[in-house]
Structure formats: structure tokens, C-alpha cells
A and B are shown apart, each in its own frame.
Chain A
């Protein structure tokens, strides 16, 4: 894989506080990298530093191996990238003129501009809005225009800063599909900042989790989702049950972990006495009304009482007290079949292999 953009010891300091501190980040040609993290994690600032719209306070940015820094280089670099913000930030003119603005700044010929604009209007399904004033567009149409404007300059790298955050769900859905297609068709390297992990999952080849200006974990979506490095990442990627425990006993291929007096079997290999964090995804917990009659392969069977039931659209979130707090997702139908009610007794099960282990503030294992 060729590295297209590289950041070394990148720091952004504003008003005395360190907003971004990234010792090393490489973006590969053709990939889509998502920066996820809570608000204030530094995603936007990192994107602006990577695109050189904000001058970094320290470190360097290498685009195709060449350092971007001097004014001339910065302009040359800016002419090879594109950026789309949360707000469409359209100019007060027609849709055509908006999409044509990048090529016009580059002083392309009229015919080349017309062709580039037509292609992108078509790609984002807004050809019929060509002569409309940007002032009259809906939120979705405006963001499509903004995306078309970005693609019209055929960027070598595309930065997207929360591009869907102010759109309603159906509009967002449609635009994500079209954007995904546009990225795939053009093979454009893309870096996207989002606080929505589902958006990140759908669009990315790699995900970088940010917190406090630092990248705390970077890897494939399944890596980050299933094998978070610490509690914070775990909570952000939707792991609802995070338990602190102590390895009591090492067995063949698995360990027994003591959590508040309950014994949980976890696939893994750690010495007794090690402090660990257990991450259990709510989808991996199954519920039944009574304990299984015959022995099953599942060792972790815990009877408990339902503390709270929260409908979440397609699934129902069930919080159980079974010696430790545990969260399970069941489908609406299953919840009805099992007649789940707050205060009822229920049995929860999960496999030893479905638990992800973190040692406190260090490397993790499954």
C-alpha cells in the first residue's frame, strides 16, 4: 500500500491547550479512513491540520513523500485536496457556479469546466438543480452540491468533516449511499471525521478512534469494534457491558475471571492475579426464561433479574442484574415471546469466546 499522506509529530496548540497530538499517522492511497470519537476529541482540528487549512503548531505533513510547509507548497497541496464541512457553505449563486468554483479557481477552460460540473451534478443526482440559486436548496440538496463541488476538482485526497451531521435520517441515508459510490468509482482517498460509529463502519477501510487530541486506536472496523484497546473506546463503539475483574485461575485455552464474586470464563491466556477489563457486546448475550436443562458448550450462564427494558427501534435493550450488571439486546419479537418485564427473573448466557479482554490501560487480547 502506498502512503499518500503522512503526519509526523503533528501538534496543534491553541490558546495554550494541546488540541491535537499525533506522533505518527499514515493514510494509504485509495483507502477511506474514519476519525471517530466524542465531541471535542480533536477530529475536526486534525482534519484541518492534515489539509493544512490550520497551520500545525509542530511536526510535519508529507503529501506523497514531500513536506507541505512553505506557502507555495501549501497552495499546491491545497489544490490537490478537497474538503466538505458539516455546513454546505455554498456561495450565493447558482448550483452550477458553486460546483464550477474549484475548476474556475484553477482557471480551467470553459469546456473543461462545463464537462466537470455536468459529470458531478449527474453523479450526485442534482442535474435538474443546475440553474437553481443555492439559496433555495433544501439541506440535502445543498450538501449534495457541496459534495459535487468537492469532486469537481478531482481531488487526490478528500476530507469530510461530519458531512451528514445536520441531515435528517432518510436524507443522510441516501447521501451516504451516493457518497460511498462516488468514492468507490473514483478511488478517491478519503478521510472522514464523524461521531457516528455506524457511518464510520459503513464507509471505512480503517477507523481511528480519537480522544483528547490523540489517536488511541487505529485499525480495521472489526478490530476497533470488537477489540477496543480500553474502556473508553469500548464504550464509544457500543460495548455496553464493561466489567473489571481479576484472573483467578488459568485453564487450558481459557481463564476464569472473578467479577464481584461471580466467576466468568473467558477465552484467553493470562496469569492468575492479573487485573483485566471484560467487554461484552450486547448482541452476544442471549436470554432465556430458565437455565438450560442439558449442559451446553456455554459455560457462562447467569440467572438474574431484569432491571430495566428500553426499546431502541429494531432491538430492545435489557439491563440485567446477575451478580454484576449485564446488558443484552434482543429483538422485539423475542422480548414478547419471553414476556420480558422489569423485575422478572431471566437467565443470561454468553460464550467465553465472545468476550474481549483488555488489561488495564495496555494491550488487549481476545
Chain B
């Protein structure tokens, strides 16, 4: 019990004294996961919207694959990114394994299906007749797509949040392709794993509190979005 109480006390001291190491890891985590989310936003939203708005043979299969991708295990992604970036792997020549770039790639691969799946559902969930209404207002296909995206902006924001939430909290891929190098590829989750294994519970708890705070903020936004109603 003492361990926990002392750990929490120390954790708050670290947080409120703006411990440079904790701050640095937090900032770096945000940078890596933010960049990865941004990339997944482009890929996920564009493909998700196209799949939502078009009919083609094999569409069901594509939707199933995207939905499966939403639950992609980070360690599997980590494994494959590692293999591809390995010195004598297909992209070994780039020499980016154990760099932040490798982490961003792995996290983007994890986040993209999440963003894609939620975008797809969000656009598909708009009333079917809304498309006809927009066309009847004289919109071109591009204008219609832009209006639909604007209409689905809240669920799309949810997609972004879910994608970000997924990657900031994953540890498997980051540790495999980043290597948890101090001051270079160490993020909140990998640092927590390491500090815990070393018995440094104070730092581990401080890092966990920051992670929990992110989780809370993300869910706060998601819940607010879910509770809103569509106009008639």
C-alpha cells in the first residue's frame, strides 16, 4: 500500500514541478502520435468516404477488411514494420528502424483503419435522401462530397480522436520499431513499461496519470459528440 501512496505523491511532485524528463516524453509522444493521426486522417477519411459513397463489386469484403483493421493488434503491426525496415528487409536501405519515423509509420498503420472505419460509418449513417437533397440543390459530385463531410464532421472528429487514442496508448509497436531509446524514441507507454520493470513506480505512475488524462479528454469529446442530435 505504501508503494502506491508514495508513488502517487512522487508522481504529483514530478508533474507539478514540470520534471523535464516527464515533460520531454509527453511532448515527444504527442508529436509522434499526432503526426501518425494526421497521416491516418488523410488516408482514412478519403478512402472511407469513397467506399461509403460508391457501389462496386466486392464492397462488402472491403468494408469487412476495414472493420477488421480497426482491431489490428499493435504487436503484429510492430512485427511487420520491423521486418520491412530490418537492415536486409525490403526497406532496410532507408535505415529508419529505431527512429521516430519508424514509430510514426507503425502508428499510422494502426490508426488508419480506425479512422477509415469510423469515417465510412459516419458518412454512410447520414440519411440516404440527404444525398438526393444535395444533388437537387444543384451540387456537383465534389460539392456533394464536401457537404457530406461537413455534415458528418462530428463523427469524423470522433474518428480522429479514436485514432489518436488508439496510438497514444499502444506500446507493442512503439517499443518494437522505436526501441525506447532515451531522449530519442521514448514515449509515455514505453517509458511506463521500462520504469515499472525497474521498480520506479513514481515515474511510472506520473506517466500513467498523463495517459489517463489524455484518455479522459478524448472520451469527454467523444461523449459530447455522441449526445448531439442531427437536425430534422
Q: Which residues of A contact B (CB under 8 A)?
A: 48, 51, 53, 75, 78-79, 81-83, 85, 87-92, 101-102, 105-106, 133-135, 137, 139, 142, 149, 153, 159
Contacts and interface: CB of A to CB of B under 8 A. Distances in A.
Given A53-B136, A102-B137, A102-B138, A91 B147 contact: yes
Given A83-B136, A85-B133, A153-B137, 19 more contacts: A48-B132, A78-B135, A78-B138, A83-B132, A83-B133, A85-B132, A87-B127, A89-B127, A89-B133, A89-B232, A91-B150, A91-B151, A92-B150, A92-B153, A102-B137, A105-B139, A105-B143, A134-B231, A139-B232
Contacts of A133: 231
A142 B232 contact: yes
A133 B138 CA distance: 23
A87 B232 contact: yes
5 contacts: A53-B135, A88-B232, A135-B230, A135-B231, A137-B232
B53 to A, nearest CB: 15
Contact of A92 (B139, B140, B231): B231
Interface string B218-232: 000000000011111
B231 A137 contact: yes
Contacts of B229: 135
Contacts of B198: none
B130 interface: yes
Contact of B130 (A48, A51, A79, A89): A89
Most B CB within 10 A of own CB, among A48, A51, A90, A106 = A90
B129 interface: yes
B138 A87 contact: no
Contacts of B136: 51, 53, 78, 81-83, 159
A92 B232 CA distance: 9
Contacts of A139: 232
B157 to A, nearest CB: 13
A149 B137 contact: yes
Given A53-B132, A83-B132, A83-B133, A91 B231 contact: yes
A336 to B, nearest CB: 44
Most A CB within 10 A of own CB, among B135, B229, B232 = B232
A88 B133 CA distance: 9
Interface string B30-73: 00000000000000000000000000000000000000000000
Nearest to A102: B137
A134 B232 contact: yes
Contact of A85 (B129, B140, B154, B231): B129
A159 B132 CA distance: 12
A297 B22 CA distance: 105
A83 B130 CA distance: 11
B138 A153 contact: yes
Interface in B61-102: none
A32 B198 CA distance: 82
A78 B127 CA distance: 20
A81 B132 CA distance: 13
Interface string B150-167: 110110000000000000
Q: Which 9 interchain pairs have the tightest Cβ spacing? A: A83-B136, A134-B231, A79-B138, A142-B232, A89-B133, A135-B231, A90-B231, A102-B137, A53-B132
A159 to B, nearest CB: 8
A337 B135 CA distance: 58
B195 to A, nearest CB: 45
Nearest to A159: B136
A135 B228 CA distance: 9
Interface string B116-143: 0000000000010110110111111001
Contacts of B137: 82, 101-102, 105, 149, 153
Given A85-B133, A134-B231, A134-B232, A92 B151 contact: yes
Most B CB within 10 A of own CB, among A85, A106, A133, A159 = A85
A19 to B, nearest CB: 16
A316 to B, nearest CB: 38
Contacts of B139: 105
Contacts of B147: 91, 101
A280 to B, nearest CB: 41
Contacts of B231: 88, 90-92, 133-135, 137, 142
Contacts of B151: 91-92
Contacts of B150: 91-92
A48 B136 CA distance: 10
A350 B26 CA distance: 91
Contacts of A159: 136
Given A53-B132, A85-B133, A92 B138 contact: no
Nearest to B230: A92
A153 B136 CA distance: 11
Contacts of A142: 231-232
Nearest to A143: B232
A323 B135 CA distance: 57
A284 to B, nearest CB: 42
A208 to B, nearest CB: 21
A90 to B, nearest CB: 4
B125 to A, nearest CB: 13
A319 B140 CA distance: 57
B129 A75 contact: no
A139 B139 CA distance: 25
A105 B144 CA distance: 9
Contacts of A87: 127, 129, 232
Interface in B175-212: none
